[in-house]
C-alpha cells in the first residue's frame, strides 16, 4: 500500500477495485513489517486530517437521495414466486 501523495489528496481517490483486489489477494502473513507500518502511518495521517478538517468546519457530503420505497403487499404467498 502506498502513502498518499499529498495532504490534499482525498483518501477515497486512493481506493479502487484494483487496490482492494491487491490487498485481499495477499495473505496478511506474507506482508512485511514495513508494509504494515506504511499502512498504519497512512491511516493515522488520514484520521488526523479528517479530525482537523471537521474541527475547522468541514462537513461530510450528504448521502444521495433514494427514491420512494415500494409498499410491500399486505399478504404474501408461495404462489407469488411463480414456481
Q: What is the pLDDT of residues 53-80, one digit of tens each?
A: 888 888 777 778 887 878 877 787 888 8
Half-sphere exposure of 34 (CA within 13 A, CB side): 1
List Cα–Cα distances, 83 to 49, 73, 76, 80, in angstroms: 54, 18, 14, 8
The answer to whether 45 touches 2, Cβ cutoff 8 Å, is: no
Lowest mean pLDDT among 16-20, 25-29, 47-51, 56-60: 16-20
Please enumerate in sequence order all residues whose Cβ is within 8 A of that of 39, keeping only pairs 6 or more positions apart, or say none.
1
Q: What is the pLDDT of residue 7?
A: 46
Between these two residues, 49 and 2, which has the higher pLDDT value? 49
DSSP state of 8: T
The answer to whether 6 touches 40, Cβ cutoff 8 Å, is: no
Amino acid at each position: 500500500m502506498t502513502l498518499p501523495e499529498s495532504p490534499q489528496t482525498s483518501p477515497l481517490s486512493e481506493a479502487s477495485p484494483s487496490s482492494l483486489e491487491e490487498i485481499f489477494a495477499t495473505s496478511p502473513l506474507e506482508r512485511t513489517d514495513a508494509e504494515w507500518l506504511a499502512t498504519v502511518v497512512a491511516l493515522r495521517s488520514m484520521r488526523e486530517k479528517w479530525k482537523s478538517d471537521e474541527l475547522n468546519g468541514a462537513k461530510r457530503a450528504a448521502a444521495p437521495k433514494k427514491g420512494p420505497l415500494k409498499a410491500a403487499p399486505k399478504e404474501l404467498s408461495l404462489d407469488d414466486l411463480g414456481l
